[in-house]
Amino acid sequence: MSAPKEEVLIRHARREDIPTILQLIQELADYEKEPNAVEATPELLAETIAFAPSPSPSSSSTTSPAADETISSTRPARCLLLFTPSGSAAGMALYFYNYSTWKARPGIYLEDLFVREIYRGKGYGQRLIQELAREVVDMKGGRLEWCVLKWNTPSIGFYESERIGARALSEWQTMRVDGEGLRTLAERRG
pLDDT digits (tens, 9 = 90+) for 117-128: 999 999 999 999
CA 81 to chain centre: 9
Count of other CB atoms within 10 angstroms of residue 31: 16
The radius of gyration of the chain from alpha carbons, rounded to an integer in Å, stands at 18
Strand order in the sheet with 77-83: 9-12, 77-83, 89-100, 105-115, 143-146
Which pLDDT does position 119 carry in this prediction?
97
User: pTM of this prediction?
Assistant: 0.88
Task: Find the catalytic residue in 31, 99, 119, 159.
Answer: 159
Q: How far apart are CA 15 and CA 53, in angstroms?
A: 8
Q: Quick check: is 97 catalytic?
A: no
Q: How far apart are CA 72 and CA 78, in angstroms?
A: 11
Q: How far apart are CA 113 and CA 110, in angstroms?
A: 7
Q: What percent of the chain has pLDDT over 90?
A: 85
**What's the pLDDT tens digit per position in 142-175?**
999 999 999 999 999 999 999 999 999 999 989 9
